[in-house]
Structure 1
Amino acid sequence: MALRDLIQPRELLYPSNLLTISRILLLPATIYYMQRSDRRQRALVLLAITMLTDALDGPLARRRGEVSKLGQILDPIADKVLIDSAAVMLSRTRGFPWWATGLLIFRDVGILLAGLIVLRRKAHITTAASSGKLTTLAMTIVALLYLAGGPRWGKPALYIALIPFSLSFVQYGWRFLRIMRSGDK
């Protein structure tokens, strides 16, 4: 599938895709404020806003009939970059465990690479698994709690979030193998 087949210029103006793009554009400011202890409140608000765009973009696209290939590609990338960047910053500044950050990055790089392989070999865009969406929600809550109250608030939520995280790891792996084994293009 060629890049020109994925990006239709009009899709850049879909409200749902604009929300996804805004999430990407808000990332530098969010990360900047996350590293400053005197700006933690601002970081908390920005992180909440960026993740709210994630909650809104998919339903908006479906309601308006504007589900696009561009959105199907940009949305998961934006989610993963935001959550993984937040995890790195929280590990550096708020006691988020580095092992959890490593697992998140490992999982997300694997999902993105598998998605690229499927796109290249099967000309198919894989969509988020239900456990993946639940993991994004759970990790958002974890990030907000770590940002607001450090490990005391965030650690219990992290351990609960490991349940959908583990399920998504298995679900994405199983789906990748099934797609690659199928004879379909």
Structure 2
Amino acid sequence: MTGAPATAAGGSGATPAHRGGKLGAAAVNQAGLWNIANILTMVRLLLVPGFVMLLLHDGGYDPVWRSFAWAAFAVAMITDVFDGHLARTYNLVTDFGKIADPIADKAIMGAALICLSSLGDLPWWITGVILFRELGITLMRFWVIRHSVIPASRGGKAKTLAQGIAVGMYVLALTGPLATLRFWVMMAAVVLTVVTGLDYVRQAVVLRRLGLAAERAAALEAVTVVSGMEDAAGGRRSGECAGGTAEGVVETVGEPAGEPPFGNPVGERVAGSRGAAEAER
């Protein structure tokens, strides 16, 4: 894959090969975006407006169109299960998937809850509790994402399953005992929503506290290392200065006694005077 761009660049020198490598890496990263997990996530996003139109068609009370809306909602829930499983199993996790997958989940669930409440089928307080929890946990994940990632718990998975079943039953035009059953299924989903939300808050606080403690410890260790390096450098400079001073003292002390370091100018003048007197004689 990397060879094709290098050939297209013309030549086989070091520079074309380097350019080819960069282009090849970019092509691989771009191709990695279009994997099956991300495609399923995008399909789920595209299903949201279609689901809303099907549910609200003809005033939102036509059983046939609501059955079509239930089918779209069911496909969205199924793709939610499979895209995450495929991404983890085949190492298809991407930055786009990390952001788009929770957005798609919240979009389809939020659209269903709001539409059902607007039609009068579902009390607004249930919609408010679920949406408040989902939005709050999403913001909580971004709050601690710099320190760690809050893992999906079994309770969270059970909550998602309960919500999907309950909302799906409300999307269908059920009557009689099934209508009563869907109410209790929704109550179970609300309880799981609140309990798991509180547990996520607890995990987020603990993870953030541990992350901040680790950052402080790392910063303190870095300061200690830098201080040690500065102390070692200062010790070497002090040793060099002390060595230079000792060598100067040794050189001065080692000169012969009575002989100034720049000769004996007095003796030279006396010898010169004697030579001049002998020459006069």
Higher Rg: 2
TM-score normalised by structure 1 residue count? 0.85
* Whole-angstrom distance in 2 between the partners of 1:133 and 1:70: 22
* Whole-angstrom distance in 2 between the partners of 1:152 and 1:159: 11
Query: What SS does the corresponding residue of 1:181 show, helix, strand or coil?
Result: helix
Is the contact between residue 112 and residue 167 of structure 2 (CA under 8 Å) also seen in structure 1?
Answer: yes
Is the contact between residue 138 and residue 161 of structure 1 (CA under 8 Å) also seen in structure 2?
Answer: yes
Amino acid across the alignment from 1:132: G
- CA shift in 2, pair 1:146/1:66, >3 Å: same
Unaligned runs of 5+ in 2: 1-28, 216-281
* Equivalent position of 2:70 in the other structure: 44
Aligned counterpart for 1:19 among listed residues 40, 44, 68: 40
Is the contact between residue 33 and residue 42 of structure 1 (CA under 8 Å) also seen in structure 2?
Answer: yes
* Equivalent position of 1:135 in the other structure: 159
- CA shift in 2, pair 1:55/1:137, >3 Å: same
* Whole-angstrom distance in 2 between the partners of 1:106 and 1:49: 25
Aligned-residue offset at 1:164: 2.0
TM-score normalised by structure 2 residue count? 0.58
* Equivalent position of 1:4 in the other structure: none
- CA shift in 2, pair 1:54/1:47, >3 Å: same
Aligned-residue offset at 1:125: 4.2
What RMSD, in angstroms, separates the aligned Cα atoms of the two structures?
1.9
Alignment of 1:91-102 (within 5 A): 91-93=117-119, 95-102=121-128
Is the contact between residue 150 and residue 200 of structure 2 (CA under 8 Å) also seen in structure 1?
Answer: no
Query: What SS does the corresponding residue of 1:35 show, helix, strand or coil?
Result: helix
Identical-pair percentage: 31
Pick 1 or 2: higher relative contact order, CA cutoff 8 A, min separation 6: 1
**Residue 32 of structure 1 pairs with residue 32 of structure 2:** no
* Whole-angstrom distance in 2 between the partners of 1:177 and 1:91: 33
Aligned-residue offset at 1:105: 1.1
Single out whichever of 159-168 and 147-156 deviates more from structure 2.
147-156
- CA shift in 2, pair 1:17/1:160, >3 Å: same
Single out whichever of 147-156 and 81-90 deviates more from structure 2.
147-156
- CA shift in 2, pair 1:63/1:22, >3 Å: same
Aligned-residue offset at 1:99: 0.5
Is the contact between residue 159 and residue 193 of structure 2 (CA under 8 Å) also seen in structure 1?
Answer: yes
Amino acid across the alignment from 1:165: T
Aligned counterpart for 1:175 among listed residues 203, 211, 221: 203
**Residue 154 of structure 1 pairs with residue 178 of structure 2:** no
Is the contact between residue 145 and residue 153 of structure 1 (CA under 8 Å) also seen in structure 2?
Answer: no
- CA shift in 2, pair 1:165/1:78, >3 Å: same
* Equivalent position of 1:88 in the other structure: 114
Is the contact between residue 150 and residue 203 of structure 2 (CA under 8 Å) also seen in structure 1?
Answer: no
**Residue 64 of structure 1 pairs with residue 94 of structure 2:** no
Is the contact between residue 44 and residue 144 of structure 1 (CA under 8 Å) also seen in structure 2?
Answer: yes
Single out whichever of 167-176 and 59-68 deviates more from structure 2.
59-68
Aligned-residue offset at 1:157: 0.8
